Amino acid sequence: MSTLAALCPHRPGFHPALSGRRDSSGQFLTRHTASWAVPSGPNCFASLRKLWTSRILSGDFLAKFRANVASGSKNPPISEPDLAPFLSDLRSCLSLSEADFQSLLCVPPVQPFRLFLLKVLLSVAKDPDIDFIDLLVSGVPLGVDEPMPPCPSLFPAPPAPKPDMDLVHCESPWGSALSDPATVDRLLQAEVSEGWIAEVPGGLSALKRQYSGSAVGKLGLVKAPDRDPRLVVDSSVSGVTAHTHLPNKSANPTITGLRRCLPSRTSLERLFALILDVSKAHRRILIRSSDRGLLCFFHRRKLYQCLTLNFGARASGYYWARVAGLLSRLLHRLLFVRHALLIYVDDLISLFSGPSAPVWAALMCVLLLLLRAFADACADSRSAGIGGFVRLVSGRCVWFRHTFSASDLSSLFSWFEESSAPQKFIAAWELFGQLALLWCVALLVPAGLNDPDEVLHQQHLALLDRLAELQQQALRIQEDTHGAEGEAEQVLRARFEQVAMDLQELNGRQRRQEMVSWRHRVRRHVISWPAQTALDMEDHLSRAHDLFTFWFFEMRERIKTLLDSKVYQKPVSLSPIYED
């Protein structure tokens, strides 16, 4: 402090003393001088923020928004009709004609975001990485044996080491994908339908002819408790990881730095947190057309190529960090109030204080939804919500959404105490939601996948339709006869008894068929122990399940980097000085 005081040009006593003084809320006045506590920079979205906050506070908009967020539904918390007035306000603030504004709302091919609209907003905020938008529109390079465009807001990386292997073409997937081909088929078909993956016509020979540089990695299937299975393309075995050099390095804080930023005591006002998750974040970034021969893999002797970044490529985390940085800096400018906004992998974690927190949370969601960055939210300290839906290709859809209070959860689960906060058991509620999703799948999908099971399922549906038809006939006969039983009633009762016998007989056949199918699955089961996938430090850091594990790997990597880069110089011998 004495060193900083010496730099001040004013005489001693010119500035009022802040040490030991508190404001009306009880906080020390010195806390107000920290840059994170007050907005900084130009207030470039003041007029837009005023219009949007007035719309949020009018009518029942805020009440519906809070109800949708608390429900835990996967659907956007704000509907498209409710977003239309916000678009009109945005066009008014940008002073654009209707035709020019509609051109900004266009979504580029194979892109989820409104990148043209995002670029205009970033230009208003004077973001340093605005040129990155043009790269997202055309497709990002993977940086294999060529420099990648650097980010001006990140630290430069050290020189790249020489690759220790050549680019290779692997012809088989990992054992995890071979052991469960049905799940791989389902996930692969979903990604092909989304336009993220495409089959290479002509196979490997056509791939080598089309691209000057190509590589084929190994497809793997990752299964983790309480999580959906996902596909991973291992690019380390194909040499793509070794040939990729990132132009920037991240400056993650240490555990000591985080502890120093923590407040010395509990906040005097209530804080609200909103966590937004971007689904399939890496898949939202298009690969440059000339680099699409580098992230390839085989499945069932068919060659596929990734059109967008996948989980497993070294460039995926880097490019998504730049996209998340654009969104976070833009949200800082839009909010321009005291808040916290952090990024952890594909999660945006925000923290607000006071009763105005729902307004700023709604403001964030409005901007992200207008940019088509869809997100979902989870439980709070008083309730937990589950929600989801299943939609088949035929258009049939089943969905569910419900919010459980602490007393509801206590009556359903004996291990949950009513006085506990549901947010502490979020993993259990996620599992609860997955079980509800499985029930929805059971309502739409037949019990088996082979022909006998499908025949039994269709017969079951036909009997249920007959039963519903008989119930309608019984209601009509009861209305016509006014309760008097006649010949029609006796015939209808006999039909009911026949359908009931048919259902009982069909249930027995289904139980026997399930045992046969189970024996077939056991006989076809193959035990596989695939080789472990090589993980680098970035993988360990992104998969750390708590802060202390993250700190351990992060500190170990920092020490290793420091020792590797330290250059020991030999002491320079001085020339002797001779005395007379």
- Sequence spans of domains, the chain: 158-322+337-354, 376-444
Give the per-residue pLDDT at 259.
Answer: 65
Architecture per CATH, 158-322+337-354: Roll (3.10)
Instruction: Give CA–CA dist 491/499, Å, rounded.
Output: 13
Q: What are the helix (H) ranges across 445-546?
A: 451-481, 487-524, 537-542
Provide CB contacts within 8 A for 166, sequence distance 6+.
239
| pTM score of the predicted model | 0.58
Question: Coil, strand, or helix at residue 197?
Answer: strand
Residue 74, amino acid: K
Question: Coil, strand, or helix at residue 275?
Answer: strand
Instruction: Give CA–CA dist 283/286, Å, rounded.
Output: 8
Instruction: Give CA–CA dist 177/221, Å, rounded.
Output: 5
Which of 309, 298, 283 has its CA nearest to residue 200?
298
Q: What is the DSSP-derived secondary structure letter of residue 216? A: B
- What is the chain's Cα-based Rg? 31
Give the per-residue pLDDT at 495.
Answer: 80
Reported residue count of the chain is: 580
Which of 138, 25, 50, 148 has its CA nearest to residue 359?
50
Averaged pLDDT in 10-residue chunks for the chain of 580 residues: 48 56 56 52 87 88 82 76 88 88 78 84 90 89 88 82 87 88 89 86 90 90 79 88 85 64 66 77 84 91 90 84 88 86 77 82 88 49 64 53 76 80 68 69 53 66 75 72 63 78 77 70 66 64 67 77 60 61
In the structure encoding, which two tokens stand for residue 336, read together?
Answer: 């321009």
CA 462 vs CA 208, 229, 394, 468: distances in Å: 53, 34, 19, 10
Instruction: Give CA–CA dist 325/377, Å, rounded.
Output: 20
In the structure encoding, which two tokens stand for residue 536, read together?
Answer: 């680098």
Instruction: Give CA–CA dist 329/341, Å, rounded.
Output: 9
Q: What is the DSSP-derived secondary structure letter of residue 450? A: S
